[in-house]
């Protein structure tokens, strides 16, 4: 999606300005950082990793220092190197006492220069031995103590010589001036010789150190090569053993697999043969059973057909005989009934004719009037009121009124059953009920009960009776019932409801 660039919109310029300000602040903060001041380096003695490991060898839980140096492994070649001599500290030359007076050069000749102390030749550095660290440390400490004692003696002797030289300075001032040049030359030569000797000693020590380091490295290389060869040999032996074991295992596995395959093939062949024989036997047995079953079924069908034919013939004969007997009995009964009816009709006609003849012989108009006069006047003269009611009445309660059609009656009974089901609690074992309860329910127009509901029909078992009683309790609990207004005109038809209620069994 491409956004159009519009120079008139301020958002672009505001964003660009904000980015420029942020970049400028970042550059200013980076430029204002003050670099740390240069610090003078501290001189340290650089040692190799092997020397450090030699210094730190030991055990933390040791009781006392061991007399012999610790060795991590046995050396292939036993070699005793020269332990060498420890370095000795060179004493400083004596200085002039501060209380001594300096003679004026104009008054007296300069005293002869004090001969320079001979500096001892620096001892060559012994080669580093990884296994003699403790012995070297003890020797170095002893040599340092010896050098300190020699330095103190040399310092005392130099002080004594300085004092004697100060006393004889005035006497030997002239002689010193003459010998100054020679002494300076001797001093320069001595210094040059000392420097040459020191350089040679240093070179010799470096050579010895390099030789010792080369020997040590050669020993380490030999040890590493031996260890590597041993490790390679062990690995080769292990690989050969492993390969041999794997080959043996593979051979055993192959033999086992072949034996299992052979056994499996034999078992499979045997199983197939057994299955084939069993299948043949089963097929033969099934065929024989089928033949027997077909023969049996055919015989049974034939016997059943013969029995059915005999039964039908017998039933037909019996039906014909029964029909003939019934027809004969009916005819006899009809004839007898007709004779009885004719006799009764004849007797009734004769009796009627006889009564009419007797009445006609006894008829008297006065006797009729006397009979009517013998009855008293009627006690009821009709309802009386302030005015005569001329509006037509609805009629008696038992008169003709609107009735529910079957669908309306079923709908009303369904509504009542739904309301009764909400209040119904099934008794224990209701699922075993057989007969549905039939109740007599009498209602008022508002849905309330006119009288208590009655059980019209219930089963003979205790479960059916308990279901009917539970239905009666549900009707009492749910009253008054909600009757829709559409059924109000048919109240005379549904005020008494006798119906079966199919209630839930659980």
pLDDT for position 67: 66
- Domain-embedded: residue 244: no
Number of domains in the chain: 1
Q: Which two tokens stand for residue 353?
A: 């004719």
Q: Select the highest-mean-pLDDT range: 6-15, 383-392, 443-452.
A: 443-452
CB 197 within 8 A of CB 118: no
pLDDT for position 444: 93
Give the mean pLDDT of 95-102. Answer: 53
Cα–Cα–Cα angle for 422, 426, 432, rounded to 5 degrees:
140
CA distance 235 to 293: 81
Q: Which residue has the higher pLDDT, 459 or 2?
A: 459
Report the chain's mean pLDDT, rounded to a whole number. 76
Q: Which residue has the higher pLDDT, 302 or 181?
A: 302
pLDDT for position 352: 74
Q: Select the highest-mean-pLDDT range: 330-334, 375-379, 468-472.
A: 468-472
The answer on pLDDT for 91 being more than 90 is no
- Domain-embedded: residue 142: no
The answer on pLDDT for 361 being more than 60 is yes
Q: Which residue has the higher pLDDT, 127 or 186?
A: 186
- Domain-embedded: residue 262: no
End-to-end CA distance of the chain: 68
Residue given tokens 């909400």 in the structure block: 422
The answer on pLDDT for 453 being more than 60 is yes
CATH of the domain at 445: 3.30.1150.10
User: Which of 129, 132, 133, 126 lies closest to 216 in space, CA to CA?
Assistant: 129
Burial of 416 from C-beta contacts in 10 A (0-12 / 13-18 / 19+): buried
pLDDT for position 86: 47
- Domain-embedded: residue 478: yes
Q: How confident is the model at residue 364 (pLDDT cuts 50, 70, 90)?
A: low
CA distance 497 to 440: 6
498 SS3 class: strand
- Of 316-330, 346-360, 376-390, 484-498, least confident by mean pLDDT is 376-390
Q: How confident is the model at residue 24 (pLDDT cuts 50, 70, 90)?
A: very high
Q: In whole angstroms, how large is the CA radius of gyration of the chain?
A: 74
The answer on pLDDT for 253 being more than 70 is yes
- Domain-embedded: residue 385: no
- Domain-embedded: residue 210: no
Helices and strands (H, E) in the chain, number of each type? 8, 3
pLDDT for position 328: 85
Give the mean pLDDT of 271-276. Answer: 88
CB 429 within 8 A of CB 459: no
pLDDT for position 448: 92
What pTM does this model have?
0.26
The answer on pLDDT for 246 being more than 80 is yes
Q: How confident is the model at residue 170 (pLDDT cuts 50, 70, 90)?
A: low
User: Residue 421's domain spans which residues?
Assistant: 406-500
- Domain-embedded: residue 455: yes
Torsion angle of the four alpha carbons 414, 417, 421, 425, in this order, in degrees rounded to the nearest 10: -150
pLDDT for position 385: 47
């Amino acid at each position: 999606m491409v956004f159009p660039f519009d120079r008139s919109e301020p958002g672009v310029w505001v964003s660009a300005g904000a980015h420029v300000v942020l970049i400028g602040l970042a550059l200013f903060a980076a430029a204002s950082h003050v670099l740390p001041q240069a610090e003078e380096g501290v001189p340290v003695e650089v040692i190799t990793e092997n020397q450090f490991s030699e210094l730190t060898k030991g055990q933390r839980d040791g009781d006392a220092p061991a007399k012999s140096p610790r060795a991590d492994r046995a050396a292939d070649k036993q070699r005793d190197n020269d332990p060498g001599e420890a370095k000795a500290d060179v004493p400083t030359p004596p200085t002039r006492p501060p209380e001594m007076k300096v003679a004026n050069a104009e008054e007296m000749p300069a005293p002869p220069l004090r001969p320079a102390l001979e500096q001892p030749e620096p001892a060559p550095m012994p080669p580093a031995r990884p296994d003699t660290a403790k012995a070297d440390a003890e020797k170095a400490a002893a040599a340092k103590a010896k050098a300190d004692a020699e330095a103190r003696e040399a310092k005392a002797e130099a002080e004594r010589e300085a004092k004697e030289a100060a006393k004889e300075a005035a006497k030997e001032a002239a002689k010193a001036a003459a010998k100054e040049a020679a002494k300076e030359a001797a001093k320069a030569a001595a210094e040059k010789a000392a420097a040459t000797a020191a350089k040679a000693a240093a070179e010799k020590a470096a050579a010895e150190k390099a030789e010792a380091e080369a020997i040590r490295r050669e020993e380490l290389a030999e040890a590493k090569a031996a260890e590597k060869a041993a490790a390679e040999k062990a690995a080769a032996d292990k690989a050969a053993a492993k390969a041999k074991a794997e080959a043996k295992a593979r051979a055993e596995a192959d033999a086992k697999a072949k034996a299992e395959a052979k056994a499996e093939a034999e078992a499979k062949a045997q199983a197939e043969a057994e299955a084939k024989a069993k299948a043949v036997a089963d097929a033969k047995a099934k065929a024989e059973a089928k033949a027997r079953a077909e023969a049996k079924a055919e015989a049974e069908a034939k016997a059943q057909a013969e029995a059915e034919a005999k039964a039908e013939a017998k039933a037909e004969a019996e039906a014909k005989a029964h029909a003939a007997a019934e027809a004969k009995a009916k005819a006899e009964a009809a004839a007898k009934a007709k004779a009885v009816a004719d006799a009764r009709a004849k007797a009734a006609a004769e009796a009627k004719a006889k009564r009419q003849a007797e009445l006609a012989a006894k008829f008297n108009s006065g006797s009729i009037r006397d009979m009517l006069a013998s009855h008293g006047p009627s006690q009821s003269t009709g309802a009386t009121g302030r005015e005569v009611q001329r509006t037509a009445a609805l009629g008696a309660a038992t008169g003709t009124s609107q009735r529910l059609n079957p669908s309306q009656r079923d709908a009303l009974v369904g509504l009542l059953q739904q309301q009764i089901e909400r209040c119904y609690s099934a008794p224990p074992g209701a699922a075993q009920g057989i007969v549905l309860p039939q109740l007599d329910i009498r209602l008022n127009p508002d849905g309330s009960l006119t009288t208590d509901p009655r059980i019209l029909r219930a089963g003979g078992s205790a479960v059916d009776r308990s279901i009917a009683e539970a239905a009666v309790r549900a009707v009492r609990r749910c009253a008054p019932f909600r009757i829709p207004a559409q059924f109000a005109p048919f109240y005379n038809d549904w005020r008494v409801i006798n119906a079966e209620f199919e209630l839930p069994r659980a």
